[in-house]
Structure 1
Amino acid sequence: MLKLNIKNETSRLRAVVLGIANSNGPTPTVNEAYDPKSLEHILAGTYPKEAYMIPEMEAFNSVFEKYGVTVFRPEIIANYNQIFVRDIGFVIDDVFIKSNILPDRAHEVEAIQYVIDQIEPSKVAIPPEEVHIEGGDVMLWNDYIFIGTYKGSDYRDYITARTNIQGVQYIKDLFPNKIVKEFDLIKSKIEARDNALHLDCCFQPVGENKGIIYKRGFREEADYLFLVQLFGEENLFHITRKEMYHMNSNVFSIDANVVVSEKKFTRLNKWLRKNGFIVEEIPYSEIAKQEGLLRCSTLPLIRG
């Protein structure tokens, strides 16, 4: 059995599910786009091709192999996008929580059922139907659980709003000993530069006390200021609107001092190295065209 253990974003990674780009299917139609960035590339004729995405994912897998991480991959479903496994489930402490995701993506969890079957059944939580929550919105920081949400009354009108207030309450009820803090995020159906699809699109901790942040990703300045106070202004790397668009906050930590990053994130990677991090640079810009990057492609199971 898998003994799950995830308490933060940066402890030494031992086991992870990594998405897969094989048999990714044809370019979606305009009506099939889940987010404004994918829509932008569909309309421009620049939507990523499977032949370009597979090598990017395998480069990521090679970094995991380098650090001795056990990697699980989804079983391949023909002509189906299975890259962003963070959306379909996540682990808090020793509990695996299945996400309630967009109905068109429901089959994705079936492809990792063989992993879920290795978890003690009492440690698998399935939220009720009214609870919407995706792993990209859930971020662990020891005693804290940070959750991205959207509190607008027009929640139902936004395909880019993935976690609702019921989702926040569900996690509060499931983990009463944790400090659960929700963040109201900026959403857009048409402009990817103004759309924080998930919390990890505008914030992510790195190391033991640092973080990457985009101030304008938060609807309420108080939410942004909460993180500034918690981490300290001097420990936060502020990204620009353009850097947010390119997913600079969506890197992935293998250890407290090891970060996997996109090789084009020049300013960020320089800052990380200046602060003592080992930066494993890989190409991931094709996958980024779908408004997801390194953290989105992973589902950590065991750290520590």
Structure 2
Amino acid sequence: MLKLHVTDETSHLKEVILGIAKDNGPVPALEDAYDPKSIEHIKAGTYPKESDMIKEMEAFNAVFEKYNVKVHRPEILKDCNQIFSRDIAFVIDDYFFKSNILPDREKELDAIQYIIDQMDPSKVIRPPGEVHIEGGDIMLWGEHIFIGTYKGADYPDYITARTNMQGVNYIKEMFPGKIVKEFDLQKSNTIAKDNALHLDCCFQPVGKDKAIIHKEGFRDLKDYSYLVNIFGKENLFHIDKDEMYHMNSNIFSIAPDVVVSEKNFTRLNQWLRSNGITVEEIPYAEIAKQEGLLRCSTMPLIRQ
């Protein structure tokens, strides 16, 4: 039996689901792309090749092996992008939530069913249909649950709006003992530099008391100030639009003092090291072209 346990973003990782890039399928048609960054690369003819993405994911897997993390992989579906396991489910405390994902991604959940079968069935939850939440919008920090959302009346017009207020309220009801705080994020279907696809595209805690943040990713300055008050300005690493676009806030913590990061994130990686954090640098720039990076590719099951 898998005893799920995740209460924050940085505690020692024991077990994780890592997505897979094999049999990723052809370059998507423009109308089938899920985000503006993918659209940009489809148009430019620079959409990532499967062979490159497989290499990047295997480099990630090798870091997990080095730190004795048990890695689960999805079963391979033909012609299906299964890289971003964070979208399809998430763990809070010892509960496993299945996301109500974009309908054509439903089969990605079937590919991890063999892992779900190892969990206590009473801890596996499918929220009601009107509740939309994706794992990239859920950030755990002790008694806090931070949730990315979009509060605009035009929510249905945005394929990039992934977690709705019904989702926020659902988590508030499920965890009455926690401080559930939602953040209204900037969304754009067409301009990648103006789009925070998920909360982890503009914010993520690292270490024991620090975080990476993109101030302009928040529609309401009060939301940004809320995080400044929790972490302290001196503990925040501010990233600009270009760094946000290249997914600097989407690195991944294996422990409070060990982070996996993209090798081109020079400024960020120096800051992490200057704060006593070991940085395992890997190439992940091809996968980043799909507006997702290291955190998006992982779904932690057990942190100690």
For Structure 1 versus Structure 2, the TM-score category normalised by the shorter chain is: over 0.9
What SS does structure 1 have at the residue aligned with 2:75? Answer: coil
Residue number in structure 2 paired with 1:52? 52
What SS does structure 2 have at the residue aligned with 1:39? Answer: helix
The whole-number CA distance in structure 2 between the counterparts of 1:79 and 1:277 is: 38
**Deviation beyond 6 Å, 4+ runs, structure 1:** none
The whole-number CA distance in structure 2 between the counterparts of 1:297 and 1:146 is: 19
The whole-number CA distance in structure 1 between the counterparts of 2:289 and 2:221 is: 28
The whole-number CA distance in structure 1 between the counterparts of 2:208 and 2:30 is: 42
**Once the 2 structures are TM-superposed, how far is the Cα of residue 21 of structure 1 from its aligned partner?**
0.1
Q: State yes or no: 1:132 paired with 2:132.
A: yes
The whole-number CA distance in structure 2 between the counterparts of 1:212 and 1:225 is: 14
**TM-score after normalising by structure 1:** 1.00
Residue number in structure 1 paired with 2:97? 97
Amino acid at match of 2:119: I
Amino acid at match of 1:36: P
Residue number in structure 2 paired with 1:226? 226
Amino acid at match of 1:68: N
What SS does structure 2 have at the residue aligned with 1:172? Answer: helix
**Once the 2 structures are TM-superposed, how far is the Cα of residue 102 of structure 1 from its aligned partner?**
0.5
Q: State yes or no: 1:141 paired with 2:147.
A: no
The whole-number CA distance in structure 2 between the counterparts of 1:175 and 1:2 is: 21
**Alignment map for 1:78-117 (pairs within 5 Å):** 78-117=78-117
Amino acid at match of 2:293: L
| 1:84-118 superposed Cα distances (whole Å, 9 cap, x missing partner) | 00000000000000001101111100000001000
Amino acid at match of 1:29: A
| 1:231-271 superposed Cα distances (whole Å, 9 cap, x missing partner) | 00000000010000000000000000000000000000000
Amino acid at match of 1:98: K
Amino acid at match of 1:256: P
The whole-number CA distance in structure 2 between the counterparts of 1:131 and 1:85 is: 19
**Alignment map for 1:231-250 (pairs within 5 Å):** 231-250=231-250
The whole-number CA distance in structure 2 between the counterparts of 1:104 and 1:197 is: 18
The whole-number CA distance in structure 1 between the counterparts of 2:61 and 2:89 is: 19
**Alignment map for 1:275-290 (pairs within 5 Å):** 275-290=275-290
Give aligned-pair identity as a percent: 72
**Runs of 5+ unmatched residues, structure 2:** none
Q: State yes or no: 1:31 paired with 2:31.
A: yes
**Runs of 5+ unmatched residues, structure 1:** none
The whole-number CA distance in structure 1 between the counterparts of 2:152 and 2:187 is: 10
Amino acid at match of 1:148: G
**TM-score after normalising by structure 2:** 1.00
Amino acid at match of 1:204: Q
The whole-number CA distance in structure 1 between the counterparts of 2:174 and 2:116 is: 19
Amino acid at match of 1:268: L
**Alignment map for 1:1-304 (pairs within 5 Å):** 1-304=1-304
What SS does structure 2 have at the residue aligned with 1:295? Answer: coil
The whole-number CA distance in structure 2 between the counterparts of 1:15 and 1:177 is: 26
The whole-number CA distance in structure 2 between the counterparts of 1:105 and 1:265 is: 30
| 1:144-186 superposed Cα distances (whole Å, 9 cap, x missing partner) | 0000000000000000000000000111111111100000000
Aligned CA RMSD, in angstroms, stands at 0.3
The whole-number CA distance in structure 2 between the counterparts of 1:175 and 1:116 is: 22
| 1:178-237 superposed Cα distances (whole Å, 9 cap, x missing partner) | 100000000000000000000000000000000000000000000000001100000000
What SS does structure 1 have at the residue aligned with 2:97? Answer: strand
The whole-number CA distance in structure 2 between the counterparts of 1:68 and 1:144 is: 28
